[in-house]
């Protein structure tokens, strides 16, 4: 996306969690603990992927995208479709996006990536320059 910046990829943390399960240091129930609201968001508002669940390997994970930012007002903390982000990036100065991958089968959930979007311009202020 044209205004994407400050990207944080959580792939290393994901691989570490998966390795801990496969090596027996952690149990799958420790990471397959998706909150019911997250599972509902995945089912109703999530975006399907072609990536299989690394834990149960029976279903593909779903991406749930949340947006946060001071300018967003009541939209902060809401789930948004990827297609909505393009328009939002042109409308707002700056907001953070969090993409969570969720398996609706076993409850695996992991923060996949976060990044900033927006124009980067200060918000327009009314009145005369001071």
38 pLDDT higher than 80: yes
Work out the mean pLDDT of the chain and round it to a whole number. Answer: 91
Q: Which of 82, 129, 107 is nearest to 27 (CA)?
A: 107
Backbone region of residue 83 per phi and psi (left: phi > 0; alpha: psi in -120 to 50; beta: other values): alpha
Q: So where are the chain's domains? A: 5-117
Q: Which residues contact 65 (CB under 8 A, 6 or more apart)?
A: 47, 79, 80, 81, 82, 85, 97, 98, 99, 100
Is pLDDT larger for residue 101 or for residue 125?
Answer: 101
Q: Which of 99, 117, 111, 122 is nearest to 46 (CA)?
A: 99
Contact 97, 66 (CB under 8 A): yes
Is pLDDT larger for residue 52 or for residue 30?
Answer: 52
């Amino acid at each position: 996306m044209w205004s994407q910046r400050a990207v944080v990829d959580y792939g290393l943390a994901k691989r570490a969690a998966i390795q801990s399960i496969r090596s027996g240091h952690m149990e799958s129930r420790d990471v397959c603990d998706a909150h019911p609201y997250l599972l509902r968001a995945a089912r109703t508002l999530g975006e399907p992927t072609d990536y299989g669940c690394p834990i149960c390997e029976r279903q593909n994970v779903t991406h749930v995208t949340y947006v946060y930012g001071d300018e967003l007002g009541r939209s902060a903390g809401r789930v948004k479709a990827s297609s909505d982000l393009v328009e939002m990036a042109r409308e707002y100065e700056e907001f953070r996006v969090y993409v969570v991958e969720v398996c609706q089968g076993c409850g695996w959930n992991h923060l996949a990536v976060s990044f900033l979007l927006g124009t980067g311009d200060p918000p327009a202020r009314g009145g005369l320059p001071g």
